[in-house]
Copies of this chain bind each other. A is one copy, B any other.
Amino acid sequence: MPRIAVDERRDLLVEAAIRVMVRDGVAKATTRSIVAEAGMALAAFHYSFRSKQELLENVIGTITAHTLDLAVERLGAEGSVEHKVRAALDSYWQHLMANPGEHRVTYELTQYALRHPGLATVAKRQYEAYIEGASKLIDSLAHSSDVTWTVPVPVIARYLIAVMDGLTLLWLNEGDDAGARAALDLAGDHLISLIRMS
């Protein structure tokens, strides 16, 4: 009954959609379940968004931005380069263990998007944003400690993203805390071995 500006309604629906996806999965995030989560009538969906696809574009954009913000926050550690690398990995891992549903949703969303022609380009841009973010993170890590990498930054960036994605999936699917943690530490060793002191 209360009148809400369309822009605000859109934000509320995007947030509700993300909550439903985290709780029940992307497939269960139907227009009906989303408006129910937001406490709105079904028709509210379609005078806020032209289609479900338009909502999903916004959901993907919001989640990508959120993830990149978190990555930037992770840069704050003090001490040696080695310590900074470990701290960054630890910080990511802590966030994963505290918010598994959120991470699972990002994988579901890219897969969903890549199977739907209208969303495929959005998914690719999302991945490119991650790679660019990782590159900047790796670059500034070396600069802040006045060291260099023995391997080109774009290569390390892709390797970093692949390893973290893979370890995340491993833990989400297998559920073995100690096993995944040991593999993460091994990846950390490798990253540190790529640093050349100068």
Contacts and interface: CB of A to CB of B under 8 A. Distances in A.
Q: How many copies of this chain are found per oligomer? A: 2
Interface in A88-109: 104, 107-108
A183 interface: yes
A115 B108 CA distance: 11
Interface size class of A (residues with CB under 8 A): 35 or more
A149 to B, nearest CB: 11
B173 A124 contact: yes
Interface stretch (A36-44, A52-60, A71-79, A152-160): A152-160
Interface stretch (A3-11, A12-20, A138-146, A164-172): A164-172
Contacts of A159: 183, 186-187
A162 B170 contact: yes
A1 interface: no
Contact of A158 (B108, B112, B131, B170): B170
Given A156-B186, A165-B169, A165-B170, 14 more contacts: A28-B115, A107-B107, A107-B111, A111-B111, A124-B174, A131-B174, A154-B182, A158-B170, A162-B166, A162-B180, A162-B187, A165-B166, A166-B167, A166-B169
